[in-house]
Structure 1
Amino acid sequence: MTDGPLDHPGLLYRDSAGLLAAIVPFVRSAVEAGDPVLVAVPGHNLELLRPVLEGAAGHVDFADMTVTGRNPGRIIPGLLLRFVSAHPGKRVAIVGEPVWPGRTTVEYPACAAHEALINTVFANREASILCPYDTSLLAESAIADAWRTHPVMIDAGVRVPSPAYGDPIATAGDFNVPLPPPPADADVLSYERVPDMAAVRDFVRRHAATVLPDDRVEEMVLAAHELAANTVRHAAGPGRIAAWTEPGLFACQIEDAGHITDPLAGRVPPDPTLPSGRGLLLVNQICDLVRIHTGPTGTTIRTHLWAPGSGLSAPGSGGESSGRG
């Protein structure tokens, strides 16, 4: 803990003992100080930590990060800021593990950008956010990125300033990398005007219905509509939407000539007095992945929804473990 507004260390751990040795005192210290605590880690670590933190029951919220934080773009608005808002005037303590073994190469850049942007979003907020990294299973590049996205690192119990830490917005921009193209058999639809939105919705509904239940189909339709509508409102020229399936998921990718200049777009709620700016935030809440590559020549946005039986579930469903104690 620190007395400053934000303390955002990365924690390098090699095994369960190392994880427990760092997180248990972090949580207990926060509880003793009267700070609200959130522990949001993958399910296997949640099972490890819950029994050990039993003495803190009633003071700690738990969440399975593989569900709540499946989409890295949802973690700041849907988990962290929501927790802060639930405890006004309090310093909060959070354990958040958004980078775990098993994250795909398509997901990872959004994870690293998320870690960098925490430093900007929470710069003036009273919060301690501890981010564990499993050095025994994660790629060396992911560990190197942890040093870039955290001002302080904890390694073998020693806390040191990170020499690789830099400007968070610039670092997040380094992960604004091109997306892989849709597969050759993806179906594609072009659109340009408001009347074309009905065709976009029908296109997504028809393809999503082959792998998703009805309620998730309609969520995907809503997400695609919001993205396509942004093309019509803000981008010069037509847009294209591609749809396809991969094992366990349904995917859509939208391309247009627009440029998203705000790196926090979709990750923080907009000013409530503004008439727009909520579409991408809504898409992040709906989808299990939102990856964005944007620049002066155009923007590509890929969205995923996981299908039933994939081992993952939607936020708030039975796959999420949350609540105190």
Structure 2
Amino acid sequence: MDHQQPGMCARHHVGIHSSDEEFLAVVVPFLREGIAAEDEPDPMAMSTARKLGLLRDALGPDARHVDFHESAHWYRGTPANDLVVALDYYAAHAGPTGRIHMTGEPLWDGRSARQTTEWQRYEALVTELFTGFPPELMCLYDTRTAPPAVIEAARRTHPTERDRQGVRPSPLYTEPAVYAALETGPLPAPPPDTAGVGLVGDMTAGRRFAAEQAVTRGMAAERAERFGEAVSGAADYAVGQGCEQARLLLWSTRERIVCELRTSRGRITDPFLGFRPPGPEARPEDGLWNTRQVCEFVDMRSRESGGEGWSIRMETALASVG
């Protein structure tokens, strides 16, 4: 589905709070704006069960006009998976003009440092992705549960901050492409026992190689097939960029599997490859959308020191969780 509606602009706020009182002071007026808007459907609020209870009490009779969701039921996959949930919700619920108020609070318990960094990159992406969209979005960050570095990153990935005083520009805001580039650096080298295969012309061999290797290393057959399709998305992008040759490297640990596609020509200059959903017109990078949906981490690098060639490294767990 093409979600884009040119000529309109989303607003992407961060609502930072340090107490229940501040939480209500930020969220209740936001939701009442959505309720009062004549051209909008009911606003959506997502947070913990306890905080949703506070909202219901504070809103009183107006609570019946709010669509409540628990964060634990929404954030159940990778950031890429959660982004699809948000886009699908928007497509299904936005009003005729595209307007809707949506507010949500991410969960931080149990996230590794790498998972947190990936989520922050997606927060920067929201501003880029919703360019041309009309929703009013507010992401909630509680200083009692979110680490200080996460709070600072939130101020960098949201153009505006919203509190009981209203809306103001975020002084730390960094343009999405610039912010995404801040989180790149050299990747760890593959281990000595890495398996590899050369791809010449027919890149579909990469899909078979990845799926077969995944099964050999303990991944269930159906899941391995999806992993092969994810690798195929990277190979298809290489073909679309005119790369007739590539090399596929694959290795694993007891819990995870990693596959890296390497080319010897071209460079990657778009930090958001694979983050944008496919539209009505096919693009070489469309397969990378599925790659990001399947893999927990997808890292893209161009050769250092201005050399030719680039790589896409795809990583996920050998076994499904939950």
TM-score range, shorter chain: 0.7 to 0.9
Per-residue CA distance 1:101-125 (angstroms, 9 max, x = gap) = 4432333343222222322322332
Match in the other structure for 2:246: 238
Match in the other structure for 2:79: 72
Alignment of 1:220 with 2:224, yes or no, is no
Given that residues 228 and 239 in structure 1 are in contact (C-alpha distance below 8 angstroms), is that contact kept between their aligned partners in structure 2? no
Matches within 5 A, 1:86-235: 86=92, 87=94, 88-98=96-106, 100-154=108-162, 159-182=167-190, 184=191, 187-195=194-202, 197-198=204-205, 200-208=207-215, 210-234=217-241, 235=243
CA distance in 2, matches of 1:39, 1:194: 50
Match in the other structure for 1:48: 50
Q: Provide closer, same or farther for how the CA distance between residues 236 and 210 of structure 1 changes in structure 2, counting only shifts above 3 A.
A: closer
Match in the other structure for 1:6: 10
- For residue 114 of structure 2, give the secondary structure of its aligned residue in structure 1: coil
Of residues 5, 25, 31, the one that matches 2:35 is 31
Identify which range, 122-131 or 91-100, moves more after superposition. 91-100
CA distance in 2, matches of 1:181, 1:136: 37
Identify which range, 27-36 or 221-230, moves more after superposition. 27-36
Given that residues 192 and 239 in structure 1 are in contact (C-alpha distance below 8 angstroms), is that contact kept between their aligned partners in structure 2? yes
Given that residues 249 and 261 in structure 2 are in contact (C-alpha distance below 8 angstroms), is that contact kept between their aligned partners in structure 1? yes
CA distance in 1, matches of 2:97, 2:11: 17
1:223 CA drift (Å): 0.6
Given that residues 237 and 285 in structure 2 are in contact (C-alpha distance below 8 angstroms), is that contact kept between their aligned partners in structure 1? no
Match in the other structure for 2:286: 278
Q: Provide closer, same or farther for how the CA distance between residues 93 and 262 of structure 1 changes in structure 2, counting only shifts above 3 A.
A: same
1:24 CA drift (Å): 4.6
CA distance in 2, matches of 1:309, 1:69: 12
CA distance in 2, matches of 1:228, 1:23: 44
1:162 CA drift (Å): 1.5
1:91 CA drift (Å): 0.9
Given that residues 40 and 65 in structure 1 are in contact (C-alpha distance below 8 angstroms), is that contact kept between their aligned partners in structure 2? no
CA distance in 2, matches of 1:255, 1:154: 44
Per-residue CA distance 1:198-239 (angstroms, 9 max, x = gap) = 365234333346444333222112111222343344347522
CA distance in 1, matches of 2:73, 2:235: 28
Q: Provide closer, same or farther for how the CA distance between residues 236 and 214 of structure 1 changes in structure 2, counting only shifts above 3 A.
A: closer
The CA RMSD measured in Å over matched residues stands at 3.5
CA distance in 2, matches of 1:291, 1:58: 42
Alignment of 1:83 with 2:89, yes or no, is yes
1:132 CA drift (Å): 1.9
Q: TM-score, normalised by structure 1?
A: 0.74
Q: TM-score, normalised by structure 2?
A: 0.75
1:159 CA drift (Å): 4.6
Q: Provide closer, same or farther for how the CA distance between residues 300 and 95 of structure 1 changes in structure 2, counting only shifts above 3 A.
A: farther
Give, as a single letter, the amino acid of the residue that structure 2 aligns with 1:5: C
Match in the other structure for 2:313: 302
- For residue 238 of structure 1, give the secondary structure of its aligned residue in structure 2: strand
Structure 1 stretches of 5 or more lacking a match? 312-325
CA distance in 2, matches of 1:116, 1:109: 11
Match in the other structure for 2:271: 263
Task: From the CA coordinates, give the structure whose radius of gyration is larger.
Answer: 2
CA distance in 2, matches of 1:65, 1:299: 37
